[in-house]
Structure 1
């Protein structure tokens, strides 16, 4: 199991387009993915559940990945949150 905390830096936070892109990318993997904000934990492979966290700019989240391909999954999530998500800043 891998746990990693992230601070969401993009201006719009987690809205439909980036969340959908991330979920599509990680659903092909076997590991379970949980995303936690404050005391709420959701299935990281569910667009609706991730959106229900209402993650905004500068919010801190914890990602928990567990399974045989967890290292690859956490690498994809880390890269997405730290780099790729910024391409969605001007889209709603």
Structure 2
């Protein structure tokens, strides 16, 4: 298991568009993935569950990956989140 904290940079947080991008990305990875935000643990492979976490700009989240490709998957997710998930 690998994990790392990152701060969400999207000006509107993880709303529908970035949640869709993150969910698509997570669904294509083989690791078991969890995101922890404010004590809430969510599966980012589900758009609705991810949006239910209410992740806003400036929120520090923890991304956890577990599986054979966990290190590569964590890197991919962190880069996407740091890049704004397709938003500026």
Please, what TM-score do these two structures have when normalized by structure 1? 0.87
Separation (CA, whole Å) in 2 of partners of 1:44 and 1:32:
10
Indicate the RMSD between aligned Cα atoms, in angstroms. Answer: 1.3
Runs of 4+ in 1 over 2 A off after TM superposition: none
Deviation of the 1:84 alpha carbon: 4.2
Unaligned runs of 5+ in 1: none
Q: Give aligned pairs, total.
A: 88
Separation (CA, whole Å) in 1 of partners of 2:33 and 2:13:
19
Based on CA coordinates, which of the two structures has the bigger radius of gyration? 1
Separation (CA, whole Å) in 2 of partners of 1:4 and 1:77:
10
Deviation of the 1:70 alpha carbon: 0.9
Separation (CA, whole Å) in 2 of partners of 1:84 and 1:54:
16
Separation (CA, whole Å) in 2 of partners of 1:53 and 1:84:
17
Separation (CA, whole Å) in 2 of partners of 1:8 and 1:83:
9
Partner of 1:63: 63
Unaligned runs of 5+ in 2: none
Deviation of the 1:7 alpha carbon: 0.8
